[in-house]
Chains A and B, each alone.
Chain A
Amino acid sequence: MNVVIDLVISGVLAVGGLFGLIGSFGMLKLREPMQRLHAPTEATTVGVGAILIAATVIGWQNGIANWHGVLITIFLLVTAPMSALMLAKAHRHLAQPKLPDTGTDAQWASDPPPRDDSD
């Protein structure tokens, strides 16, 4: 029985490590800054998630109920979008990419106050 659990844990750890690696490889391979922002979401979701699941299960197996993994997952999922949003906004200010319209009368939140139609 223990062997089965160990195998499953090893599998989950391997998957987590693999996705962490793919995320890092994406940082290396992708060309533009905005594209590079997509790569780390691999690592923060499945990469870290799988490793925390494995850590929690190992804890239970050894009779230590450790709930911090659940909490780390929640905090990570709540905070990761914020850092991505801030990086995207920083990129906007530095590179000034051409953006589509909002589709409404309002402008994008960090657009400079009204300017000419030249973009």
Chain B
Amino acid sequence: MRRLFPHPLLSFMLFIGWLLLANSANLNNLILATLLAILVPLATQPWWPGRPRIHSMRLIGYVIFVLGDILCANVEIAAIILFMPARKIASVWITVPVDLPDPEAMALLAATITLTPGTLTAEFSTDNKALLVHVLHTRNPDAVRDAIKSRYESRLKRIFM
């Protein structure tokens, strides 16, 4: 089973992705989706060594958690954009030290930070141990850094085993 599906999550995503793209689940598309789900991970395996093991259920929980955060942050930033005088907006750069083992986890953390309105990843350090984040408005940069670490990084650590 492991040999047929070296990366079950990728296979699953390809299968679902194809069915969504085809917009139907008739026999033709089911067969084609299955073929893609088997062939693409096998064909790309040599170019993606050291893939991390991912806890799929926790990843789904994480996505829902982040979507909730995005909604809340959207309202906050909308209030700042609409009602705060432009010269009062205090933007800062902060450095977030990161302790994640995989580049994939690092990328996911960076994407999460950017997608949450109000914070934006601009850089990473060459040793993958820090992210440079731009914050639209905050009076307390350390609190933002700690929130990123406790809300997202700790959860990502449990997803990437």
Contact = CB atoms under 8 A, between A and B. Distances in A.
Interface of A: 19, 22, 25-26, 29-32, 34-35, 37-39, 41-42, 45-46, 65-68, 70-71, 74, 77-78, 80-81, 84-85, 88-89, 92, 97-110
Interface string B147-158: 000000000000
Given A46-B70, A100-B95, A106 B21 contact: no
Interface in B124-140: 124-127, 129-130, 132, 134, 136
B32 interface: no
B91 A35 contact: yes
Contact of A45 (B74, B86, B121): B74
A84 B95 contact: no
A38 B122 CA distance: 12
A19 B78 contact: yes
Given A38-B77, A68-B20, A70-B20, A104 B115 contact: no
Given A19-B78, A42-B81, A29 B86 contact: yes
B93 A106 contact: no
Contacts of A77: 111, 115
A105 B97 contact: no
Contacts of B122: 34, 85, 88-89, 92
Interface in B26-45: none
Interface residues of B, number: 40
A66 B129 contact: no
Contacts of A74: 17
A42 B97 contact: no
Contacts of A81: 110-111, 114-115, 121
A108 B129 CA distance: 10
B120 A104 contact: no
Interface string B44-85: 000000000000000000000000001100100110011000
A26 B74 CA distance: 12
Contacts of B111: 77-78, 81
B92 to A, nearest CB: 9
Given A80-B114, A85-B110, 10 more contacts: A25-B82, A29-B86, A34-B134, A67-B20, A68-B21, A99-B93, A102-B95, A103-B97, A104-B125, A108-B126
A12 B116 CA distance: 20
Listed from nearest, the 9 A-B pairs whose CB atoms lie closest are A88-B122, A106-B127, A81-B114, A26-B81, A81-B111, A102-B125, A106-B126, A38-B136, A71-B20
Contact of A102 (B77, B91, B129, B136): B129
A30 B126 contact: no
